[in-house]
Amino acid sequence: MSSKDTPETMDLRSMDIKAENRGRLKALFPTVFTETANEKGEPVEAIDFEKLKAELGTFSEVFEARRERYGMDWPGKKDCMKLIQQPSVATLKPCHDESVNFDTTENLFIEGDNLEVLKLLQKSYYGKVKMIYIDPPYNTGNEFIYPDKYSETLETYLAYAGLVDDEGKKFSTNTPNEGRFHTRWLNMMYPRLYLARNLLREDGVIFISIDDNEVSNLRKMCDEIFGEENFKADISWQKRYTRSNNTVDFTTVVEHLLVYEKSESFLVNLLSRTEEADSRYSNPDNDPRGAWKGASFLNPATPQQRPNLCYPITNPNTGETTYPSTNAWRRSKEEFERLQKENLLYWGSDGKQAVPSIKMFLSEARGLTPINYWSHEYAGNTDDGTRELESLISAKVFNNPKPSLLIRRAIEHACDKESVILDFFSGSSTTGQAVLDLNAQDNGNRKFILIQLPEPCAEDSEAFKAGYKTIFEIGKERIRKVIKKIVDEQKNKKIERESKIPGMAENITSIDLGFKVFKLDRSNFKIWDGSRPDAPEEELIRQLTLHIDHVDPRASQEDILYELLLKAGFMLTEKVQKLEMTGKTVYSAAEGALLICLEDKITPELIDAVAAAEPMQFLCLDKGFQGNDQLKANAVQTFNALNQGRDKTEQIVFRTV
CA distance 353 to 364: 25
Which candidate, 465, 460, 382, 459, places its Cα nearest to that of 428?
382
Residue 355 domain-assigned?
yes
Based on the fold, state whether residues 375 and 453 are members of the same structural domain. yes
* CATH number of the domain within which 205 lies: 3.40.50.150
Q: What is the pLDDT of residue 40?
A: 65
pTM recorded for the entire structure: 0.81
Task: Give the whole-angstrom CA distance, residue 320 versus residue 343.
Answer: 18
Asked whether residue 355 falls in the same domain as residue 480, the answer is: no
Residues 467 and 325 both lie in one domain: no
Identify whether 45 is part of a domain.
Answer: no
Judge whether residue 58 has pLDDT over 50.
yes
Of 119, 85, 84, which Cα lies nearest the Cα of 191?
84
- Is residue 401, in this structure, part of any structural domain at all? yes
Whether 87 is in a domain gets the answer no
Q: Is the dihedral of CA 59, 65, 69, 74 positive or negative?
A: positive
Domain boundary among 363, 394, 410: 363
Query: Is the pLDDT score of 507 beyond 90?
Result: no
Highest mean pLDDT (candidates 158-162, 343-347, 498-502): 343-347
Claim to verify: residue 305 and residue 392 sit in the same structural domain? no
Nearest by Cα to 405 from 383, 372, 422, 426 = 383
Question: Predicted confidence band at 594 (pLDDT cuts at 50, 70, 90)?
Answer: very high
294 and 338 part of one domain = yes
My answer on whether 113 and 201 are in the same domain is yes
pLDDT tens digit sequence for 342-389:
999 999 999 999 999 999 999 988 888 889 999 999 999 999 999 999
| Domain interval for residue 582 | 530-656
Model confidence pLDDT, tens digit, residues 606-632: 999 999 999 999 999 999 999 899 999
Kindly state whether residues 501 and 458 are assigned to the same domain: yes
* Residue 644 counted as domain residue: yes
* 583 φ, ψ (degrees, to nearest 5): 80, 5
Whether residue 65 is contained in a domain is answered as no
* Tens digit of each residue's pLDDT (9 = 90 or more) over 31-41: 778 777 666 66
344 & 446 share domain: no
Residues 408 and 476 in one domain: yes
- Give the residue-averaged pLDDT of 316-333: 95
- For residue 421, CA distances in Å to 44, 136, 199, 205, 505 come to 40, 16, 11, 10, 32
How far apart CA 151 and CA 189 sit, in angstroms, is: 15
State mean pLDDT over 186-194.
Answer: 93
Q: Is residue 90 part of a domain?
A: no
183 vs 293, more confident:
293
For residues 464-492, give the mean pLDDT.
94
**Which one of 70-84, 258-272, 386-400, 438-452 scores highest in mean pLDDT?**
438-452
Domains in the chain: how many in total? 3
pLDDT digits (tens, 9 = 90+) for 88-105: 989 999 999 999 999 999
Three-class DSSP category at 488: helix
Judged against a pLDDT cut of 60, whether residue 546 lies above it is answered with no
Cα–Cα distances (Å) from 270 to 233, 328, 371, 404, 411, in that order, read 15, 31, 10, 20, 12
Which positions ≥6 away from 531 have C-beta within 8 Å? none
CB burial of 43-76 (b: ≥16 within 10 Å; e: otherwise) equals eeeeeeeeebeeeeeeeeeeeeeeeeeeeeeeee
Helix (H) / strand (E) containing 538: helix 537-546
Q: How far is residue 109's CA from residue 107's CA, in Å, rounded to a whole number? A: 7
Of 496, 517, 538, which closes a domain? 517
- The domain boundary, picked from 517, 547, 568, lies at 517
The confidence band for 46, taking pLDDT boundaries of 50, 70 and 90, is confident
Domain co-membership, 259 together with 392: yes
Residues 130 and 219 in one domain: yes
Instruction: Give the contacts of 509 (CB within 8 A, at least 6 positions apart).
Output: 440, 443, 490
Computed over every residue of the chain, the mean pLDDT equals 87
Cα 623 to Cα 631: distance, rounded to the nearest angstrom? 12
In a domain, 84, yes or no: no
Asked whether residue 205 falls in the same domain as residue 337, the answer is no
